Structure 1
């Protein structure tokens, strides 16, 4: 780690993560290199290795940041004073995810590569943020559905978080994928993240655990 203040170190990490995020908007995970990331920073490419050993560690840091931003929105949701109906809560929760397209893309497409090629300390740091997201959703459920039992909340989490891993592929298609589906006569409907998440949450809360949330 280079000499300097913690503030400078964090600023440089953020610059590296910002560069990675910008490239990921137009390039694939496997196509992006540390050289590409370094070219979009204000310091030398080799300096990146003072902060991240692999590109996967950079992407994992990006995913961690996305989770922390999501947690912030969830905490804001939990602070609402007015009660929310099941439909209103499902809408609000879906809105928090509408802004996290990058998070959902990384989770569905690149998680195993990122985790497998990152140092344990980086992986532990990410897992803390993931745990924080679980806890934040739990707090929201406890706030707006106080009749939900601990078992019901756990059941919701075990259904909701695996569901999130499939959201991106069902809401984002490449031109090649669309052409292939048309050629294979596969019917499909284009959904936004919000349009996919909201009914799922609503049905989950109105289904098996309906007696707990009324």
Structure 2
């Protein structure tokens, strides 16, 4: 058992977020309740309210953790490579995102609910992690493509980050969605997260070979 109130508080928060993440692997956002999350923790359901006031705050904390893990992966790219070609960087960035399916799913499906039903102070902490991802991607571009101007970098950011919201819907489909596309005669092509991200990044950077 962690010693000290701060350590105990963080351990309890981590346990709650871990329980939420586990449920989210097999259940939908709207179906998961605080009761469900509490049932997977080692303390009472009512104790959760000492740390999170709403289900959305728990999910927002999960998304924050996903962003922080992604930042660490981006920093590894920066520290581990002196230089990268467009293709090399596109592949490296794509690899970081294929590990962040939970992040992509939350961003594409549940972001407005999470932000709208979280306290301002929790939302501000999350936005700090989001800002960290912006800085990490910017640092990658500045290191590996020094010919890019500040405007070039900003244009990349404005194209890339909105693109993130569409990755999950284009790479993950339920059987019902696939059957509906078949009935509607939609020409569906399967893409992995890696494939769709690498292709997109390479196209964004093709002028900077």
Range class of TM-score, shorter chain: over 0.9
1:185 Cα deviation after fit: 1.0
* Equivalent residue number for residue 144 of structure 2: 144
Could you give the per-residue CA deviations for residues 33-92 of structure 1, whole angstroms, max 9, x where no partner exists?
000000000000000000000000000000000000000000111112331110000000
Unmatched tracts of structure 2, length 5 or more = none
1:5 Cα deviation after fit: 1.4
* Equivalent residue number for residue 193 of structure 1: 193
SS at match of 1:166: helix
Distance 1:145 1:55 in 2: 41
Give the TM-score taking structure 1 as reference length.
0.95
Distance 2:95 2:66 in 1: 15
Which runs of at least 4 in structure 1 moved beyond 6 Å after TM superposition? none
Q: Report the count of equivalent residues.
A: 206
Give the TM-score taking structure 2 as reference length.
0.97
Distance 1:138 1:164 in 2: 15
Distance 2:26 2:169 in 1: 16
Unmatched tracts of structure 1, length 5 or more = none
1:40 aligns with 2:40: yes
